[in-house]
Amino acid sequence: MAKTAIITGGGSGIGYATAMQLADKGINITIVDINDENGNETVRLLKEKNVDAIYVNANVSKSADVKRYVDETLDHFGSIDYFFNNAGISGSGGFFLDTDIDEIEQIVGINLLGALYGVRYVAEVMVKNGGGSIVNMASSAGVIGQATVVTYSATKHAVAGMTKSLVAEYAKDGLRVNAVAPGPTETPMVKAYFDANPQMKESAEKGIPQQRLGTSEEVAELVTFLLTSKAQYINGEIVRIDGGFTNSK
């Protein structure tokens, strides 16, 4: 029987790249996104790879929407084996004291509450069914401190703590939970950030020992490995993929 994955933020960037790689392994997929055009196009391309896929429009900062994408996945596929808890936003890139409270609430709502709601409903299913594998989206900003991303950094540090604590509670029930911590990566979110803060791109590239940004496909390869590999003893790890960026700090 084919396995099933849920990917939030699956319509673009790292989520999209991961969906394509999971489909190559014959895994059925629920794409969760807020952008209908991207979500539906991703599903169309997945079906061309001869896997089953559905799209669910959801605002992950709303618990009812999260429960709905879990319920619709179960209704359609009958199980949840893998979960890439990926949806997130970076914010405007301003200094913290210049950041509007509305923006702080939005970043926390999507990046932290959305991630918490996701593991709350998905892990409940997985534990009931004997286990499963989750990869949460952290960030280099969840490993070190970085200017202009104070709220984003706070949420990503929290995701790292959430990952470790879930393992402490539920590894005995067959749950594997890891996180990836990409450095600056060529995604639509990062492009928008650099477009708003052009001086930051050159600074970022110079600060990476490999002297370039990462790609969505590179991060997706790591996510796919952590989700689906036979390396079942990897649990509770925050795996950096940043060209040496945080190692050099």
- Active-site residue set: 152
Question: CB–CB of 31/43 below 8 Å?
Answer: yes
Q: Is 89 helix (H, G, I), strand (E, B) or coil?
A: coil
Question: CB–CB of 5/29 below 8 Å?
Answer: yes
What's the rounded Cα separation, in Å, for the pair 149 and 143?
A: 13
Q: Is 88 helix (H, G, I), strand (E, B) or coil?
A: coil
Which helix (DSSP H) or strand (DSSP E) does residue 119 occupy? Answer: helix 114-128
What's the rounded Cα separation, in Å, for the pair 29 and 189?
A: 22
Question: CB–CB of 60/68 below 8 Å?
Answer: no
Q: Which of 226, 221, 215 is nearest to 18 (CA)?
A: 221
Q: Nearest-5° angle of CA 8, CA 240, CA 224?
A: 45
Burial class (CB in 10 A: 0-12, 13-18, 19+), 120: middle
Q: Which of 143, 158, 147 is nearest to 96 (CA)?
A: 147
Integer angstrom CA distances of residue 242 from 74, 89, 153, 168, 208? 35, 18, 16, 26, 8
